[in-house]
Chain A
Amino acid sequence: MALSREQIQEELKKALGAEQVVTDETVLKESSLDRYRKFEQVHEIYTQPIPAAVVYVKSTEDVKSVLTFANANGINVVPRTGHSAIEGGLETAKENSIVVDGSTMNKVLKIDKENMQVTCQCGVPLQDLDDMLREQGYTTGHSPQSKPLAQMGGLVATRSIGQFSTLYGGIEDMVVGLEAVFPNGEVCRIKNVPRRSVGPDIRHIIIGNEGALCYITEVTVKLFKYQPENNVFLGYTIEDMKKGFEALRAVMVEGYKPSIARLYDGPDASQHWDWNEDKNVLIFMAEGPAAVTKATAEGIDAVVKTFEGVKAVDPKLIEKWFGGLNWGAEQIAEEKLEILATDNIGITTEVSGCWDCIYDIYKNACDRIMKEVPDMTLMGGHSSHSYMNGTNMYFVYYYNVVDCTPEEEMNKYHNQINRIICEEVIKYGGSIAHHHGLGKARAHYVWQEYGSSFYMLETLKKAFDPNGIMNMGTLIPIKHDDKNPWIF
């Protein structure tokens, strides 16, 4: 028989001590969701099942203890660190879930300058880690917009990516080794080596598992030299968005490695700058040793200027703007007030596609959203992570919430916009999630996203989480309505 809410709380207190188990109603409510349900969140409306407890773990042993208990009793566990998720990954989809918060596991265990790697517990805030490293002349190279909030465990669990990814790669390119706890209590460590050829790269079972397979307790990532004095910025306006994608492609294909390569469309750019006069904006930054950054910047400049409709802008405009791009608690608090005052809300959805279709994905999705979704106040986006074979598209959209309650907002607007974006991405063979994770909302498109390889994902889930206790609803939906996949 399933344990009651009170029994779960009691057992957790016995296992960890009362001070590590939080059952305060406000905390529990706030822990039932993440920023996917932003409109509900700002109105303090909670439609998801409220968890039984939030437990603050202090060690791998604590995690093992909680997971073993949950596994034996069929209790859903939602792993969490920085609470900055925005795709529903932290929603407690089942009754009486346990939110396992690793933010108190926040020790940097070893800075290994000889081997250029740093090992830290899952709850180390990336901002703290990188600030500390930068003081010593190093960096992780990882700088997502959520840097002031996100912590190492969550960043790895969601396969996150940072603003300098074109040079340093995504988190998957940075992670060297890991420690994770599986639902049966098995603690697995993957050692730190430069590379190995010993079967499948099992790091990738853990990286991006979104808490649906295991709990990440320790992470080792690479170090890089921090040389900001050599940074070179470049900025341009470009008349035509399609040409902008072509320019990005040309830079990548010619073999340049800027740390930043971005293309903003007019509407999105206008949120950031006044000088672009509604035009699209291209941005690059070269990072590294001085000789490299000089050559990289000169090479990129030559490539970009071959495109029609390009006009260079003062690089200082880009450099200064870039310093204030990250989002922390202050911006979120300010945004809440603005949403409550105006009923105008802004959300993003990030996808990826190869060079031959990314413009079509962008154009069709924008056109369809404008036609099919009411009350839109801004529709645009930018590409911010490019690769040899394609790039991402970060859709940015705002709408006024009109004639509906906070509970109804999700199905009237947000889910509909996501539906259109996913449909267009699937149609062109792109990926529906580039770096936020699949979460619980876009999980409803997991079958189309994976195609025949869904077998592998499902098998992993069944093998590592046979009792279905790890962040249920994330990656694979608990309930799915084929006819109306986006009504939930």
Chain B
Amino acid sequence: MIRILGSFKVVPDLDQISEEEWASDPANRIDTSYVKKILSCYDESGLEMMLKFSDESGDFGVPVQLDAVTIGRKMNENYLKTLYALGFTEATRIECEKEIQFWPEWTAGILSEFMNQTERYDLVVMGNRSADEENGKVPFLLAEELGWPCISQVVEIIPEDEAHVKVRYEVDNGYCTSVVQLPCILSIGDVPCSFLRVPTLKDRMQKGKKEIHRVKIEDLGISETFEGLQPDLSLVNLEVIDQSRPGVILDGMNAEEKAEKLYQTYLKGRVEL
């Protein structure tokens, strides 16, 4: 049996915030309290990847157990219920009411302690960064703490056997596929059109009501370690990147005229070169 732990973060859907709303307060905090929260997109890709891996594992004769863990508020449990409804076996929320930002060492430390205290996992699947902070460090820091290898920019996981998985990951000029020995951490990269599937209401009723495990940070025996410490990074400024590009609107009586003008003015020279 391969035991896979999916780790995810719930983040505010920043697409719902208009540019005007990006004005921050003196502490450089943008108010996202009114914005609906969503799964961090890289984690969402990872969770769906786990389900696909599980779908395919039967053909390879490899039994799989999918578990999930998140750190955060009670609201995160809605996502854990969804994962139960989709067939996950164990779902855990590490209780944390504070919003922890720009502190990947803290997150990696918590996850490492959680893994040390729970059952043995063969594989950890997590987004390569969170959609709201983009530190991009947690998978590597966790790998270091656990002493496991970490494959980054993963776009696909394929069953191999009980001790190995086949991993497709993005490199500078393309994709590589490698067979990786377990245990390891897979850091999920940018997977286009990767959405978590949606459980039916029937599945939510039948499977989604399973008890969610709750773990207090202090129960992990690490509060002493982290209390009083501050992140290495602190936010000092926010500014919008101007993504507008200069442009020219071509005038002409019809599409043909405009196309001709486009060709003569902008394309002909390049073609003739």
What is the interface of chain B mostly: helix, strand, loop, or mixed?
loop
Of the listed stretches A92-100, A119-127, A337-345, A354-362, name the one at the interface; the rest are far from the partner chain.
A337-345
Closest to A321 in B: B34
A320 is an interface residue with CB less than 8 A from chain B: yes
Complex-state Cα separation, A80 to B122, whole angstroms: 58
Of the listed stretches B94-102, B144-152, B164-172, B195-203, name the one at the interface; the rest are far from the partner chain.
B195-203
Given A274-B37, A320-B35, A323-B18, are A377 and B199 also a contact pair (CB < 8 Å)? Answer: yes
Q: Does A375 lie within 8 Å of B200, measured CB to CB?
A: yes
Complex-state Cα separation, A19 to B195, whole angstroms: 42
Give the distance to chain A from B119, nearest Cβ to Cβ, in Å. 30
Q: Does B195 lie within 8 Å of A338, measured CB to CB?
A: yes
Give the distance to chain B from A400, nearest Cβ to Cβ, in Å. 6
**Residues of A with C-beta under 8 A to B18:** 323-324
A295 is an interface residue with CB less than 8 A from chain B: no
B250 is an interface residue with CB less than 8 A from chain A: no
Interface residues of B in 223-261 (CB under 8 A from A): 254-256
Q: Does B194 lie within 8 Å of A316, measured CB to CB?
A: no
A45 is an interface residue with CB less than 8 A from chain B: no
**Residues of B with C-beta under 8 A to A274:** 36-37, 75, 78
Complex-state Cα separation, A340 to B194, whole angstroms: 10
Contact of B201 among A317, A323, A342, A376 (CB under 8 A): A376
**Residues of A with C-beta under 8 A to B273:** none
Contact with B along A299-334 (1 / 0, CB 8 A): 000000000000000101100110110000000000
Contact with A along B192-227 (1 / 0, CB 8 A): 011111111110000000000000000000000000
Complex-state Cα separation, A378 to B198, whole angstroms: 9
Contact of A316 among B34, B36, B255 (CB under 8 A): B34
Complex-state Cα separation, A320 to B20, whole angstroms: 12
Q: Does A400 lie within 8 Å of B201, measured CB to CB?
A: no
Q: Does A272 lie within 8 Å of B36, measured CB to CB?
A: yes
Interface residues of B in 64-100 (CB under 8 A from A): 75, 78
Closest to B75 in A: A274
Given A19-B255, A341-B193, A341-B194, are A377 and B36 also a contact pair (CB < 8 Å)? Answer: no
Contact with B along A347-387 (1 / 0, CB 8 A): 00000000000000000000000100001111100000000
A454 is an interface residue with CB less than 8 A from chain B: no
B28 is an interface residue with CB less than 8 A from chain A: no
Given A19-B254, A316-B34, A324-B16, are A377 and B201 also a contact pair (CB < 8 Å)? Answer: yes
**Residues of B with C-beta under 8 A to A375:** 200
Given A316-B34, A324-B16, A338-B195, are A378 and B201 also a contact pair (CB < 8 Å)? Answer: yes
Show 14 A/B contacts (Cβ-Cβ < 8 Å), sorted by A: A273-B36, A314-B34, A320-B34, A320-B35, A323-B18, A338-B195, A340-B193, A341-B194, A342-B195, A342-B198, A376-B201, A377-B198, A377-B201, A379-B201
Task: Name B's A-contacting residues (CB within 8 A).
Answer: 16, 18, 21, 33-37, 75, 78, 193-202, 254-256
Given contacts A272-B36, A337-B193, A344-B198, 15 further A-B contacts (CB under 8 A): A19-B254, A273-B36, A274-B75, A317-B33, A320-B21, A320-B34, A320-B35, A323-B18, A341-B193, A370-B201, A376-B200, A376-B201, A376-B202, A400-B197, A400-B200
Lowest 9 A-B CB distances belong to which pairs? Answer: A320-B34, A344-B198, A377-B198, A341-B195, A341-B193, A317-B34, A337-B193, A342-B195, A324-B16
